[in-house]
Amino acid sequence: MDAEGLLLSLELASGSGLGLSPDRRASLLTSLTLVKRDYRFDRVLFWGRILGLVADYYIAQGLSEDQLAPRQTLYSMNCMEWSLLPPATEEMMVQTAVVKGRFMGDPSHEYEHTEIQKVKDGDKTFDDEVVIDKAVSIIPRGALFKTPFGPIHVNRTFEGLTLPEAKKLSSYFHFREPVDLKTKTLLEKADLDPSLDFLDSLEHDIPKGSWSVQMERGGTLVVLRSLLWPGLTFYHAPRTRNHGFVYMGTGEKNLDLPFML
């Protein structure tokens, strides 16, 4: 969710029962404004909170003018002091893949494994954030547009989806580089608008049924929740520009979902 509308966004996404205390909200509102200024980001997104056993990690992302360019990820333990997380390397991804269970909430904590001796909690935080982000970062169709020259920008003319459109999974895209779209044939792409339909749609996600679409607040708010990554909430108020997502969970994937559907 965009840091500039943080208070409204947290209120709209509060239907899942997880939120932030008033002092945490105030701290985030102030500190993320400074992060945007100091790092010269075009936009700053409050990505969410990963719940740890000792303490929680608060995650934010800095975006450049090209919305799909590599993002910078920051973490904080107190919502005031932010630190950049290093880019995830292939070696780090392999190492953290063997670590199972909850986060400790201490970046210096080291996990031990029979094959790989030590993995730090801070490294695991960033790698898991990358994996979750690729799976559940969402935008509504039309919120971004692709220029003929390639860069992706925020669509200033976007006025929200209509109510019938907002109820369909096909109206929502993954906010990352497309994967499935590149495998489609020219015939399958014939009805797509290249300036708007340049991302992967949620309707093709596997397993089928991994998303829950619900209407809240008397039908004025559409809420999507991920059943594969419990804790992810996306909201959109139809016919308005208000939309965003936030993750507040333990960082654990629901591997039993295919057997539950």
Mean pLDDT over 177-182 rounds to: 79
pLDDT attached to residue 80: 92
Q: Which residue has the higher pLDDT, 121 or 100?
A: 100
pLDDT attached to residue 127: 52
Average pLDDT, the chain: 83
In the predicted structure, residue 249 carries a pLDDT above the cut 80: yes
In the predicted structure, residue 100 carries a pLDDT above the cut 90: no
Work out the pLDDT band at 112, boundaries 50, 70, 90: low
Query: How many residues in the chain?
Result: 261
- Residue by residue, what is the 3-state secondary structure of the chain? CEHHHHHHHHHHCHHHCCCCCHHHHHHHHHHHHHHHHHHCCCEEEEEEEECECCCCEEEEEEECCCCCCCCEEEEECCCCCCEECCCCCHHHHHHHHCCCCCECCCCCCEEECCCCCEEEHHHHHHHHHHHHHHHHCEEECCCEEECCCCCEEECCCCCCCCHHHHCCHHHEEECCCCCCHHHCCCCCCCCCCCCCCCCCEHHHCCCCCCEEEEEECCCCEEEEEECCCCCEEEEECCCCCCEEEEEEECCCCCCCHHHHC
In the predicted structure, residue 183 carries a pLDDT above the cut 60: yes
Those residues with Cβ within 8 angstroms of residue 10's Cβ, 6 or more apart along the chain or in another chain? 1, 19, 20, 25, 246
**Of 88-102, 140-154, 186-200, 236-250, the least confident:** 88-102
pLDDT attached to residue 59: 92
> Both tokens of residue 235?
């909201």
Q: Which residue has the higher pLDDT, 18 or 64?
A: 64
Work out the pLDDT band at 126, boundaries 50, 70, 90: very low
Say if CB 60 and CB 46 are below 8 A apart.
Answer: yes
Of 4, 56, 11, 55, the closest CA to residue 32 belongs to 4
Tens digit of each residue's pLDDT (9 = 90 or more) over 3-41: 888 888 888 888 777 788 889 999 999 999 999 999 999
In the predicted structure, residue 177 carries a pLDDT above the cut 70: yes
Highest mean pLDDT among 82-96, 131-145, 220-234: 220-234
Work out the pLDDT band at 222, boundaries 50, 70, 90: very high
> Both tokens of residue 124?
């695991």
**How far is the C-alpha of 87 from the C-alpha of 74, rounded, in Å?**
11
